[in-house]
Structures are given as C-alpha cells and as structure tokens.
Structure 1
Amino acid sequence: MEKKPLIGIIGGNGKMGCWFKNFFEKNDLKVIISDIETEYSNKEIAEMSDIIIISVPISKVTEVVKEIRNHIKKESLLTDTTSIKRYPLKEMKKAKCGVLGMHPLFGPICKDMKNKTIVFCRARDNIYVDFLKKLFRKNGANILEISPKEHDKQMAILQSLLHFTNISFSYFLYSKKFKSNPNFLTPSFKLQSLVLGRILAQNPELYADIEMENPYFRKISEEYIKEITKFQKIIKDKKYEEFKNKFNLSSSYFSEFIKIAEEKSTEILKLLEKQVIRVGKPKKINLKNAKVGFLGPEGTFSWIGAKTIFKNNVKLKPFINIRDIFKEVAEGGVDLGMVPIENSITGIVSETMYSFIDFPVKSIGSFKIPIHHVLASYEKDTKNIKIIKSHPQALLQCKKYLDENFPNILREPTSSTVAPILEDKNSSVGFIVPLLTAQKYKLNILRKNIEDYKNNFTRFFIISQSRIVIKNLKPKNTLILFAVYDKVGILRDILSIFADNKINLSALHSIPSRLHPWDYMFFLEVEKSYDSIKKIIKKLEKYCPYIRILGSA
C-alpha cells in the first residue's frame, strides 16, 4: 500500500474513540473525527476517510450507518468498535464499501493493545481489512476471527450475563444499605469487589446497551434465573447431597483452571492486604469529640497543626507514618486525618500522594503553618553540646545555621523531631524542635529561629471519608488525580483546556506509576470549586483514561 489511509472516527471524542485516535496517530496516521461541536460532520468523515470507524453507543450505530452509508467511497472500509455485531453489521453491509465488524476486548484505561484481543467479524473484505490486521498485530494485539452470530452468542454470557449478575448484586447491596467493617470482608468478597468496582466505574449507557441490545441475552437471562430458582429451592429444602452434586459438577467443569485460579487469586489478595475496600456510603461525622489522626508523637509540627485547627474539640491520635493515617481514616478507626502535602523548601510529600492513590478518602480542606526551629537541650550551655539530633528534614532546614555555629558537632537523623527527646536524656544532646515542643518537654531553649529560611511553611490536608465543614477551613480549590494517554503534547492539550477557560492552576505534580516503569500519574490543583468545573473535567476525558476527584483544598 503506497499511500497511508486517512482514518475517520465518528464519536472521536468518546473514550474509545479517543483511545483509537491516539493509537493511530502514534502509528503516524492522520486522523479526523466527528462528534458534538467538532469541525467535521459524520457525513464529511464518511466522504473524506479511507477507513471509517464508528465508535458510538450500540443503540446509535444503526442510526449513524443510515446517515453515512451513501456518502462512503466504494474503496473505503466501514468498521465499528461495538460489543454487538449481528444487527450493526446487517445494516453496515447495505453500504457499498468494505465492511468489517471489530470488537476490541479491552477498554480505554489500557495503555496499549499489547497482548490484548481484537475480534474481527469479516463481512466484505478490501485492502484495509488486512491493513488493520497487520497494524494491530505489529502493536502486539491478538486478532480473533469469528462470525457475528457466534460473537453475540459468546458475548451474551461473557459480557451481558456477567454484567447482569454483578450489577444486580451491587444494587442488592445498595437496596439493603449493607455496610461492613473493611476488616470483616472475606477474601472472596474482596476479589469480587474488584470486579464490581471495575464494572460500576463504566458508563451505564454502555452497559445497558450490552444487555438490552444483544439478541441472545434475553433467553440466556431467563435460563439463568431458572437455575437460580432451582438453587434457591435446594437451599430452602436443605438438600445437602443435591447441593454438593451441583457444586462438584461445576467444579469439574473448571477443573483445569481451579488450581491456577486459587494461586493467582492468592497473589491478588496479597496485593490487597494493604488496600482498604469500603462498602456503602461513609458515615456522617460529628466534629465534637471526633477522632483525628496526625503524624506523631505529640510535639511534632503535625501535632502543632492539629492543635491549631481543632483546638480542644477533638481527640488526637498519633501515628508513626502517613500511610497508617490514610488506612485508619478509610477503615473508620479515626474520623479525620491530618497529613502533610508540601513544604515550601523541600517540596511535595510523595508518601501522601501515593496514599491518595491507594485509599478511598478525600481531602476536605487545607491549611499552612510556619516552620520555625529552636535548638533545645536538657543542657543549659551550648558549649557542652556534643551531638545534635532531629528529623532529617529539620537538620536540612537548619543546615546553614549548623554549619556556621556548630561545624564540628556530630548530627544524627532520627525518625521524628520528638523521638530523640523521649529516647535520650543525656544532657550533652541538642535537639532541633518547634518552640512548643521544647516547652512541652521542659527543655532549655538555647537558640530560637535557627531555620535557614524564615518564610518556610508546611501545608497540610485534612482527609476524611465524607465532607464536613470545619470552621477554620474555607476550601476553594479542587484536587484532581489523572493519568494521560501516551501522546506527544498531551499535557499541553490538557493545560490548554484550563487556560482557554481562564482557570488558574495552583499546582501540577507528576507521580511515577507503580504499574509500569516510566508511566506517571498527575496531581492537579485547580483554583475553582468542583461544581464550577464539572464541564471542564468532562472535556479532560478525551485525553485521560483515568480521572479521580480527590476532594477540595
């Protein structure tokens, strides 16, 4: 093929349409799209393109095909990305061009198509069918060729029935207002919750189409419900032998896979050991007598911040690390958590960012406290100080002062600013601590304000399961976590959306992904409330396979 084909995607601003647009552009192919408020109409895409891809909801495919089929060049290829093949292909074959039914068995959250499967239902071949097949295989995809009828029969069980079962189960939990302590969830429920979460994160219109438009699913669902009714009667009548017989028959049907499933699910459960899974809506918080977690022990800057914001209305609970605070908030062990997010000198706190990714909690506000250090000791004279101990950050923030005034004194980093005070009563030890901490532990204050930068601040987020109004906090900004498609200039395109709408950004940080080397998540702070930028966030979807609102600040 001498000339590269022009790719036209109808529905190019949808999630799957965006995914394929980025894919083809990465493979040096020109792509044009039509969608709401785009330069080209559906008919113009049909007239101009060599390969026309319909990426719209299943229920809209027939309507789009009727609109464009008389505008497609005879030598072009008409294809689609929908989960139903029989009826759409019947309509597509009325066009006088090449026709191919495609079904990518993966979603737009996937980074690429390596080791993924794309179904081909051939209807009327031309050169572009083989072109797509070679291109997809070159990018690591598996091509599975099958008839439209067999495809829809398989999908009636693999998609429609599976989704029907999970959505029904999740709605049942909702209808019963079922709640459970995260520590009480069984291993099987934890595994099932991953499937539920993945399904419920999708577009309900798509899943309605998958169940309602598949011509074979109605019969399958009726047969399935009959089997459930039979099982229900077996349980009601306590027919143990019949139950065991059905169980064993089911087990034998999957016998080749059972041991592998047991092994692989155990690996997944190990990954979930530190992941909180919460069922149901979060409880309401009464700020009076609420439990607040902070980075302890008492005497740290986190403790000072907590005392500043909450006064004496709450019960403070110290934690050794930031992740434990997130975990306790997510599990309901404490009502609120206070975590450092950024220091004006040393920058972002990565442990806080990763914890936001891992736990289902939100920020409900932020505040800053000034960072001032004193040199304190059980000793009264600096001449008798032999060693200075403190947290590495405190030592770093006072480095210039220490170099000039105590150049020959040993410095020892510790787990917190308070830890050495509690552990070492030796009078020859100096401690770098906040003023309030020195006063709390009745230390002698040898020097005040020894920090190198006088305008040093640490910013904290208050995290919670649910929104609550705290008098001293007035959140105005929205926090967003997102991943991007792998495309040149993608961040520029995202930032342009905010610039074009005259919306300022307070922060943009990249966080290395733990899933793939050299992949990144991005943390964005927008100087607008969430309600005022909902439409803007919708526009981000064409560039971002994953978007999560982390709350307000």
Structure 2
Amino acid sequence: MINDDRLKPLREQIDAIDAQILDLLSQRARVAQLVGHIKSETQAPVFRPEREAQVLRKVADHNRGPLAAHDIQTIFREIMSSCRALERRVVVSYLGPSGTFSEQAVYQQFGSAVEGLPCVSIDEVFRAAEAGTADFGVAPVENSSEGAVNRTLDLLLQTTLLISGEVSIPVRHSLMSKRGDMQGVKAICAHSQALAQCQAWLNLHYPDIERIAMASNGEAARRAGADDSLAAIASELAGQQYGLQVVNSSIQDDPHNRTRFAVLGNLQTLPSGRDQTSIVFAVPNKAGAVYNMLAPLATHGVSMTRFESRPARMGAWEYYFYVDMEGHAHDAHVARALAELKEQAAFFKMLGSYPLCVSAQDREALPLPQDDTN
C-alpha cells in the first residue's frame, strides 16, 4: 500500500476538480434537455451529424494537452451521446452479431448511449433503417486492402436512404479458438473479406486447414465458441464475448488495414464546414463519355477523392460510377458542378452530403481508405 503524504493534497485536488466536472456535466445535460424540448416541438431530428462533427473538431483544435486530441474527442463523443439519450436513444442497425467491427463503427460514430440492432446481413441493415425499425444503419463501404464491399454499393443504388456520415475503423484480426491453440481445429471461419485480408498469413501458417466464409466475423466467433473443431478470425472483443482465446493476434496482411463505413438514414445533413458528397451516375454508351462527365468537377474546382465502377445489372448502361468529392452539395461550386454533371448523365443519383469527420487519431495514422463486412 502506498503511503506518501505528497499524494493526499493531489488527490484532494483531483476530487475537487471532479466535483466541478460533475457540476458542469449536469449543467450541460440540463441545457441539452431544453434543446430536446425545442426539437420535439419542431419535430427536429435528435441526432445532427454536422453539429456533432463541429463539436469534435473544435475540441481537438482547442486541446492543449496533456491528453491526446483523440482521447478528448472520445470523452466528448460520450458526453454528447449521453445528453442525446436524454431526448431519446437512437436505434442503429449494423451487421451482427455483437462483436463485429460494424458494431465498433456504431459506437465510434454515436457513442455508447445508443441502442444497437444487430442484423444478419447488409441487406437487413438497410431494410431496418428503411422501415423505420432503426433510425440509422451502419454498413461497410470499402476496405483499404480488399477494396469495395460490392453488396453495399449495389444497395446504395436502390435505397431511399442517404449517407449522413462515415466512420473509418482500424481492422486488427486475431485467430482464436476455444482452447487457445489449433489442436483439433479442422476449419477456420470468418467473413470472406477477413479471409482475403489474412490470406498470405493463413497460406504461410495453416495452408492445409479448410476456410469457411461466414456472414460476419461476429458470427464466426459465435460458431467457434460453440464448436471445438472451429477457429475464428475476428476482433479480440468478439472473442471475449464468445469465450475464445487468442492463438495469434494481428494476422492481417496489411498492418495499416482499415475499413470505412457509411452511416445511413433519412436525414439530409447540413454543411459542417468540412464535408464530402457521394453520387452515383451512368453515362451514355459513347467514346469519351466518362471523361466528359467528370469535366464539370475540374471546371468548378471540385476535388474527387474516390472513383469506383460497378457493372450495371439492368437497364441500358454498362456501368454505374460511384464518386466521392470534397465539399457539400450546398456549396456553390459543388452545386454548379453537380448540376452540369446531372444534365449530361444517363442516370444520376445523389447518395448524400455529410461531414468528413476524420478523428484526430485517424489524421495521425497512415493511409485512410477504402470496409468490412467484418
């Protein structure tokens, strides 16, 4: 037991500061309740992504340490989440079961004072948000090593939902089993994206063990927790939830592996000051059509940050093109570029404008994407 007279006054000082923090948190919560009353009278949404993005950026910019900006943002995200829950707990659908990277993305975006709704497939994530069972859905869009999640792209083409935010999650895969070793293991299960992200490592260490694709890494962990003959690739959090022990950690082939998620809802997000706009379009089937379609972006000084193509499965066009660009659709130069692009397109759909809410930790990390189905 530490017995140092120098600690007593410091602990008393911490206790006094904690009392001040508690009082300020209570004051903030009471003001948030007043905001909630006004919102209920005007039927305004409980969650405003652009407002929360602005708060998180501001606290990171004003932070003077010694706490890291990312840690400050985490604290304030939870404060906003708890205050928001005084109005109403937001329900968010995600690819389940519990323990997936998709669930982690939910909490990174909304904080922990939300109600998560695990779904068996990405289709169900969309369906829950479309039907109103969930206020928002969180779906994987792309992975930095494996590229686009095609099912999400296809559903974005069909849905009435809009993208209202994005989340980037570092993906750390662990190989786990009930015993903590591979004795008696006949198959390794994981989502197909996770198997692909760990392919070189698996080929080197366990080339002869069967690999089974699952609907999610969380489901793989659940199955392995009930069957000694299975090992799972998943997050260590998922392993803990289903009684697994780590055989090897961080087995992903790319040490900087990340997955990017889209936050989906019926909300039209207002400009936050640092935004991104996503669209999908198709072009007439003629030479130079794609080049000509993208010309308005260059003309009006709009920077394109992502370009993805998907084969068209119906209609008269060969491909749909998914584009992310800097800026909000309400920004004058972006609005002009989109108007010209829409005029020329054989098909055009706005997927949403939303805060480019990169955390302080993400800014310090190496490459930001491209996401899980993990």
Unmatched 5+ stretches in structure 1: 1-282
The code of the aligned residue for 2:299 comes to D
Distance 1:474 1:409 in 2: 50
Match of 1:285 among 42, 45, 50: 45
- Matching residue within 198, 206, 213 for 1:398: 198
Query: Contact 2:175–2:248 at 8 Å: present in 1 too?
Result: yes
Confirm whether residue 301 of structure 1 aligns to residue 108 of structure 2: no
Give the letter aligned to residue 311 of structure 2: P
- Which position in structure 1 is the counterpart of 2:341? 540
Aligned to 1:513: 312
2:243 aligns with one of 424, 442, 449: 442
Q: Deviations over 1:306-352 (max 9, x none)?
A: 12222222100011122222222122121011011111111112221
Q: Within the alignment, does 1:525 sit opposite 2:324 as a pair?
A: yes
* Equivalent residue, structure 2, for 1:430: 231
Contact 2:108 2:167 in 1 (8 A): no
Q: Which residue of 1 aligns with 2:127?
A: 327
What is the deviation of 1:291?
Answer: 0.7
Which of the residues 276, 296, 306 maps onto 1:497?
296
Q: Which amino acid aligns with 2:268?
A: R
Instruction: Write the mapping of 1:28-39 to structure 2, written as runs, cut at 5 A.
Output: none
More divergent stretch after superposition (425-434 vs 509-518):
509-518
2:115 is matched with: 315
Q: 2:159 aligns with which of 359, 378, 384?
A: 359
- Written as runs of structure 1 = structure 2, the 5 A alignment for 1:223-242 is none
**8 Å CA contact retained: 2:221, 2:239:** no
Question: How far apart, CA to CA, are the structure 2 residues paired with 1:326 and 1:502?
Answer: 33
- Structure 2 CA distance, aligned partners of 1:422 and 1:340? 20
Match of 1:395, SS state, is helix
Out of 446, 456, 479, which is 2:257 matched to? 456
The offset of 1:411, in angstroms, is 2.1
User: SS in structure 2 opposite 1:466?
Assistant: coil
User: What is the CA–CA distance in structure 1 between the aligned matches of 2:284 and 2:269, rounded to whole Å?
Assistant: 35
CA RMSD of aligned residues (A): 2.3
Letter in 2 for 1:449: S
**Deviations 1:421-447 (CA, angstroms, capped at 9, x unpaired):** 333523342211112111222311121
Contact persistence 1:285–1:468 (CA under 8 A)? no
Q: CA deviation at 1:468?
A: 5.5
TM-score where L is the length of structure 2: 0.67
Q: Deviations over 1:232-258 (max 9, x none)?
A: xxxxxxxxxxxxxxxxxxxxxxxxxxx
TM superposition shift of 1:382: 3.2
CA distance in 2 between counterparts of 1:474 and 1:382 reads 51
Partner of 2:140: 340
Aligned to 2:350: 549
- Write the deviation string for residues 248-290 of structure 1: whole angstroms up to 9, x where unpaired: xxxxxxxxxxxxxxxxxxxxxxxxxxxxxxxxxxx74324301
Does 1:373 pair with 2:173?
yes
Q: 1:375·1:431 contact (CA, 8 Å) conserved in 2?
A: yes
2:285–2:317 Cα contact (<8 Å) kept = no
- Check whether the contact 2:283–2:293 (CA below 8 A) recurs between aligned residues: no
Equivalent position SS for 2:340: helix
Which residue type is aligned with residue 503 of structure 1? V
CA distance in 2, matches of 1:542, 1:303: 39
1:305 and 1:365 map into 2 onto residues whose CA distance is 11
Name the structure 2 match of 1:416: 216
CA gap of 1:325–1:386, structure 2 versus 1, over 3 A, is: closer
Q: 1:299 and 1:380, CA in 2 relative to 1: closer, same or farther beyond 3 A?
A: same
CA distance in 1, matches of 2:292, 2:230: 55
Q: Which residue of 2 aligns with 1:389?
A: 189
In structure 2, list runs of 5 or more residues that go unmatched. 1-42, 48-84, 355-374
Quote the Cα distance in structure 2 between the aligned partners of 1:346 and 1:517: 29
- Residue 279 of structure 2, aligned match among 480, 483, 488: 480
Distance 1:381-1:321 versus aligned 2 partners, 3 A rule? closer
Q: TM-score, normalised by structure 1?
A: 0.46
SS at 2:134's partner residue?
coil
Aligned length: 269
> Where in structure 2 are the equivalents of 1:194-213 lying within 5 Å?
none
Offset of 1:384 from its aligned partner? 4.2
Which structure is richer in relative contact order (CA contacts within 8 A, separation 6 or more)? 2
Distance 1:486 1:307, change over 3 A: same
Deviations 1:369-403 (A, max 9, x none): 01111111111333443332222221221111111
In percent, how many aligned pairs have the same letter?
28
User: Aligned AA for 2:146?
Assistant: T
Q: Is the Cα contact below 8 Å between 1:490 and 1:543 reproduced in 2?
A: no
Q: Which whole-Å deviations, capped at 9, do the CAs of 1:119-140 have from their partners, x for residues lacking one? A: xxxxxxxxxxxxxxxxxxxxxx
Q: Helix, strand or coil for the counterpart of 1:418?
A: helix
Aligned to 2:81: none
Alpha carbons of structure 1 residues 350 and 428: separation in structure 2 relative to 1, 3 Å: closer
Give the whole-Å Cα distance in 2 for the aligned partners of 1:469 and 1:435: 37
The separation in 2 between residues aligned to 1:383 and 1:474, in whole angstroms, is 54
Q: Tell me what 2:39 maps to.
A: none
